[in-house]
Structure 1
Amino acid sequence: MTVDVVDLCAQLIRFDTTNHGGGDARGEREAAEFCATILADADLEPTILESAPRRANVVTRIPGDDPTLAPLLIQGHLDVVPADATEWSVPPFSGTVSDGYLWGRGAVDMKDFCATVLAAVHTLTTTGRRPRRDIVLAFVADEEDRGEYGAEWLVTHHPHLFADCAAAISESGGYTYHVRAADGRPVRLYPIGTAERGTAHLKLTARGRAGHGSRRNDANAVTRLITALHALATHDWPVVLTPTVEAFLERTGQALGVTVDLHDIDTTLDRLGDAAPLAESVVRNSVTPTVLSAGYKVNVIPGLAEAHVDGRVLPGTEAALLSQVDELIGPHVEYEFLSRSKPVQAPVDSPWFDALSNALRSQDPDAVVVPYCLGGGTDAKAFSELGIDCYGFAPLWLPEGFNYRAMAHGIDERVPVEGLRFGTRVLEHLLLHA
């Protein structure tokens, strides 16, 4: 059968694969079976692996022309975050095409990439072409929670499926990012993720003396917790320039014709203008309070107060960050990890980065390709544990003025249909030449 990437993406969106977290998810099995059907039609042999009932992952391998080359892993997740239909202009799982866009939850995170991969692979195999090297495909569950039913589970229980892969590509990179140079000319950046900050999600617990709300209490757990959170939230975390961020600043500055001063990052970010959001959150660590819990009655001072904070850690800085957290929260508050994952780093100057850049330029010769560091995290954290160099590369053409970065997890999530077709062509080039 002939497949169209827009139709594939629309069909994937119509599978409600909402992941509420804590093991509460739906639809992943049905979406996995759909992917397996497309792969089987392309004369491949997909395997569905369930980590728990209905928590399904699909893995297959495409033989390449040169078996001496290390395989490339292409991985994407099938689950999505919840969507409140009352807030949307269209039903979030309708897969509606309107005004040149495909609308629906997962359109950019990340059923668009899954669809472009399926379309590119199907086109190549059904036209008798083979990739240059073996390609391992993995469509996984549970990325929007902890990955324990998806990538983490696969890495733990089926590492042999990926053992010989040298590099991987997945979400959060390779898309058009429109900026203006110092002289006013338009520049199309294409950021490729070569690093991710690590995760240090912490639970803070403040203990004190319970008592009546009307009486003086110098050991109020709520006050101790608030004081600690204020110290964390207002702390001026030092600048740490990783190889990826330094390369981004220098190469983007050169493309825009602005002076980059690595000793004055705030001024440099100001000079980068609209390109600054790609770096401003990853020149430092961050610790952000997100959840508070304390008390049960207005006239009772509780003896315990708790909070969650979202810590993000640049490579090589976790020990320093935790030491600073200890100092800031003081002696009456303690912390424990809710979740913890290492930062991810892949080489910027490598044949893999060059291959990804060439694939983009095959469809946009004026593309300015730069490395960048993701502020959050992806399943790359799991696959990097196998020694795989993981890159954020989900190619997509975007029109100027389209706020792509606001789409993931947002209301009225949508993706341009021409962007999907662009991404498919880029991936076809990559499969044939990488």
Structure 2
Amino acid sequence: MRAHLLAWTAILPLAIATISPARAQTPAPLSADQAVFRDLFKELVETNTTVSSGSCTAAAEKMAARLKAAGYKDDQLTLFSVPEFPKDGGLVAVLPGTSKTLKPMLLLGHLDVVEAKREDWTRDPFTMVEENGYYYARGASDMKGMVAAWVDIMARLKKDGPAPKRMIKLALTCGEETGGRFNGAKWLAETKPDLIAAEFALNEGGGGRTDGKGKVVVQSMQIGEKSNRNFRIEATNPGGHSSIPVRENAIYDLGDALAKVRDYGFPVTLNDTTRAFFAKAGASRGDDMGRAMVALSKNPNDASALAMVTSDRGYNSTLRTTCVATTIAGGHAENALPQRASANVNCRIFPGETAETTQAALVKAINNPAITVTLVGRIRPIAVPPPLDPRIMGPAEKLVAKYFPGVPLVPSMSTGATDATYLGVIGIPTYGVPGGWGDPDGNGAHGLNERREITSLMVGRDFLYDLVTAYASK
């Protein structure tokens, strides 16, 4: 899932967001160990893991084989699946630590990818193609590059040593993109919590962005995310013959209700993460928007700063709960008054709010007792925001300064959702880490011709290795 891409585009000056295509750095020739890593990445992206025709179980088995070849014993590798969805399996690997006091850390990654139709793509989505400094394939950006890095790190630490002080666990799961069927992170959290128990977890959601010309201009640590809920807004009416219309019409009533949803603004809210985000990201901009962001971080009641910041849709979403109509249905015949009309309203709920408080706000905004507002659809847990912990931020800040001199590390809250939601509720704070980077156009994640810059993949691999070993040593 890469919903955070929109928010990251918004961090950069708006002119940058229109640059496409991005220009990749010319990659250096691969070293021997990078070539091995490239083969691992290639194996992952060329393993189809879509819900329609792929198999996460096959991908998990291939990663288990690589870890076993690196020296993992059978009792350190747990392949799992459920009978109802045998192709939606995953893997948990455990690398023991030497410390008896440090609690484990968890590396989390999803194996499944968004659907990709060959007839729509310029290249075969499940054949890795190297072109103009990029690797093209479905999953190249979301998120098999990070999955490959996690497996690579676990293999190198096992094979080459030394053993880390802190136990490191790896959980590769299915269903983050297609969790309406089965979600492996949810299954592990609910049925095998001891297997993945950890003091904290590292996940997707962070990372860097370029200026569209190959230069990395910002890195992010994702600290928290919104929760996703859907509500059905419905109007009903006795109906009747269309030749004798009446004012009380379910479609009109629904339209009036949706107009009120459109016009309703949820209260502006800041937490530790978003306050730090606006302060640091704003200071890095050096323009009127940046100054407004800094002012708002100091005083959320600053009307002029708020007006400017909320004029950007990404920033506006970072500041409050948002609800938007996404689908609509109504009527039963072309020559009849509608008896029923409904719409789905998708809400992204700010941490601290709940489905119930959001539902109540919608009911109040609509202000029509004849309109029903019903919670529907897939229910993820309400996200539990992790703390803005200096023990997490500190090592990452040092490494960003080392790898990307002068580039800020900005804490961010995702306006989308990841599998971190399933870990937070069982007491595992989960962070989306920096390292690799993408371009302002999103690199085709969830879309056509998905790609990952080769230099980003290789530098990101080294960064994550250093980050994991830093956390594992203290």
Report the AA paired with residue 156 of structure 1: E
Deviating more after overlay: 171-180 vs 360-369: 171-180
| Cα deviation 1:80-118 (Å, max 9, x = unaligned) | 111232332211111211111111111111111101111
Which of 157, 160, 165 matches 1:132? 165
Does residue 43 of structure 2 align to residue 6 of structure 1? no
1:4 aligned counterpart, secondary structure: helix
- Would the alpha carbon gap of residues 390 and 277 (structure 1) be closer, same or farther in structure 2, given more than 3 Å must change? farther
RMSD over aligned CA atoms reads 2.6
Distance 2:304 2:47 in 1: 44
Aligned to 1:261: 295
Give the 5 Å matches for 1:235-314.
Answer: 235-257=264-286, 258-259=290-291, 260-262=294-296, 263-264=301-302, 267=305, 279-314=315-350
One-letter code of the match for 2:372?
Answer: E
Q: Please show how residues 52-201 of structure 1 align to structure 2 within 5 Å.
A: 52-146=85-179, 148-163=182-197, 165-178=198-211, 188-201=217-230
Q: 1:332 aligns to what SS in structure 2?
A: coil
Residue 32 of structure 1 is matched in structure 2 by 60
Aligned AA (2:237): G
Matched, 1:226 2:258: no
2:362 is aligned to 325
CA distance in 1, matches of 2:256, 2:117: 35
Q: Could you report, residue by residue, the CA deviation over 1:143-194 in whole angstroms, capped at 9, with x for unpaired residues?
A: 113374311111111111122x1111111102235499xxxxx872211100
In the alignment, does 2:388 pair up with 1:348? yes
Give the deviation of 1:277 after TM superposition: 6.9
Structure 1 residue ranges without an equivalent (≥5)? 181-185
Give deviations 1:224-243, integer Å, cap 9, x for gaps: 22221222123233311122
Q: Residue 105 of structure 2 contacts residue 200 of structure 2 at CA under 8 Å; is this kept in 1?
A: yes
Gaps of 5+ in 2: 1-31
Shift of 1:374: 0.2
The partner residue of 1:409 within 431, 437, 446 is: 446
TM-score (norm 2): 0.82
For residues 289-315 of structure 1, give each alpha carbon's deviation from its aligned partner in whole angstroms, at most 9, with x where no partner exists.
111122232212231222211101111
| Pair 1:359–1:82, CA change in 2 (3 A) | same
Instruction: Give the secondary structure class of the aligned counterpart of 1:176.
Output: strand
AA matched with 1:39: L
Secondary structure at the aligned position of 2:98 is classed as coil
User: Secondary structure of 1:31's partner?
Assistant: helix
Out of 210, 219, 237, which is 1:208 matched to? 237
- Contact conserved, 1:170 with 1:394, CA < 8 A, in 2? no
Q: What secondary structure sits across from 1:328 in the alignment?
A: helix
Distance in 2 (CA, whole Å) between partners of 1:278 and 1:70 is 36
Partner of 2:372: 334
1:426 to 463, 468, 472: 463
Q: Distance in 2 between matches of 1:97 and 1:200?
A: 39
Name the SS of the counterpart of 2:334 in structure 1.
Answer: coil
- Aligned-pair CA distance for 1:129: 2.8
The structure carrying a bigger strand percent of its residues is 1
Match for residue 404 of structure 2 among 364, 369, 375? 364
Aligned partner of 1:392 among 429, 432, 436: 432
Give me the whole-angstrom Cα distance separating, in 1, the residues matched to 2:284 and 2:310: 10
Give how far 1:142 is off: 0.6
Name which of structure 1's ranges 124-133 and 206-215 shifts more when overlaid on structure 2: 124-133
What is the SS of the residue equivalent to 1:37? helix
Paired with 2:397 and 2:460, the residues of 1 have a C-alpha distance of: 13
User: C-alpha separation between the residues in 2 aligned to 1:125 and 1:204?
Assistant: 54
Name 1:183's counterpart in structure 2: none
User: Could you say what secondary structure the match of 2:43 adopts?
Assistant: helix
TM-score by structure 1 length?
0.89
State the shift of 1:135 in Å.
0.8
Greater CA deviation, 232-241 or 170-179?
170-179
Structure 1 letter corresponding to 2:454: V
AA of the residue aligned to 2:44: L
Q: Deviations over 1:261-294 (max 9, x none)?
A: 1134774795899xx7763421111101111122
Cα distance between partner residues in 2 of 1:268 and 1:5: 46
Give the letter aligned to residue 62 of structure 2: F
**Cα distance change, pair 342–424 in 1 and its aligned pair in 2 (3 A):** same
2:50–2:113 contact (8 Å) kept in structure 1? yes
Instruction: Quote how far apart the aligned CAs of 1:388 are.
Output: 0.9
8 Å CA contact 1:132–1:433 kept in 2: the answer is: no
